Amino acid sequence: MRSKRMFTAVDSHTEGMPTRVVTGGVGVIPGATMNEKRLHFIEHLDDLRLLLMNEPRGHSAMSGAILQPSTRDDCDWGVLYIEVSGCLPMCGHGTIGVATVLVETGMVEVVEPVTTIRLDTPAGLVIARVAVSDGHAESVTLENVPSYVVRLDDVVDVPGYGPVPYSLAFGGNFYAMVDLDAVGLPFDRSRQQEILTAGLAIMTAINETAPPKHPEIEGLDHVHHVEFIAPGSDARLSRHAMAIYPGWFDRSPCGTGTSARMAELWGRGELALGDDFVNESFIGSRFTGRLIAETTVGGIPAVVPTITGRAWVTGIGQYLLDPSDPFPTGFSF
């Protein structure tokens, strides 16, 4: 057996969505902060993301996280988030997967009933509190980065769809929230391709006419997520289909998307601090969110969200690159 590269990873899924937690083979990525590491990775090391996320080692909705030494003295690990759509500043389902893997593999000191893990992410400090019973990670509650509203009840002209009302919020990534009724589609997985096509068209229209820009995180200046809200959703229970660039759906309820949705509801005065909010994915899995504090981001009113969900370890693997492999960065199909 010949191998040009070898990566070790622990695979997991968070309420249906995969996270391949890369524990070895990458080395220490240059950068004084995790966001600097993210930007360096995007420019110089993106072939590793493509190799691990694309077919044949991954698939069209693959997601992962690369463990790194923390760049902060107050954190246990650094995390770089990768998926088929790119290298994210934050990923909620991925962080739940990382925290579960760290406990299940003993890569952190495990304390019962709660193991607290401080994670250095490109978006900032994220605290994971893992509920542990008999050494097993039962659930994870994330204290996410501050989330805020960019705009409420705006309208974007989308070719083929006309004027589409939407709101935009940040929860670790930027999310456009659109009522499914606004594009004339039902909350039905049999119509997923039509929903996805609409989502990609909306992303393109926003990015071409009014792209967002985070006031503090360099390189975060686009929308790659459209959260289509199902009819009947409210500030207690919301159901959605999360369309993601370049063309797939989140299987989980989406942690950063849940944070953005709570920020939007808070901005409308519909969700108060301390109230539980249940967010349901396109496959019926759920996260429970809660807003615990008010703050600011670059002078913008913001909130601190928590998200609770579950993850399960699904495998341990070593991923190889043979020098004769005709697909050294995999392929998309």
In angstroms, rounded to a whole number, what is the distance separating the alpha carbons of residues 186 and 296? 36
Residues classed as catalytic: 91, 254
Residue 237, Cβ density class (10 Å: 0-12 exposed, 13-18 middle, ≥19 buried): middle
- Sequence-distant (6+) residues with CB within 8 A of 82 are 48, 49, 52, 53, 63, 64, 65, 66, 88
CB 130 within 8 A of CB 115: yes
Which residue type does 174 have? F
DSSP state of 124: E
Q: How far apart are the first and last CA of the chain?
A: 28
Tell whether the torsion through CA atoms of 38, 39, 44 and 50 is positive or negative: positive
In angstroms, rounded to a whole number, what is the distance separating the alpha carbons of residues 141 and 130? 6
User: Which has the closest alpha carbon to 29: 17, 38, 18, 20?
Assistant: 38
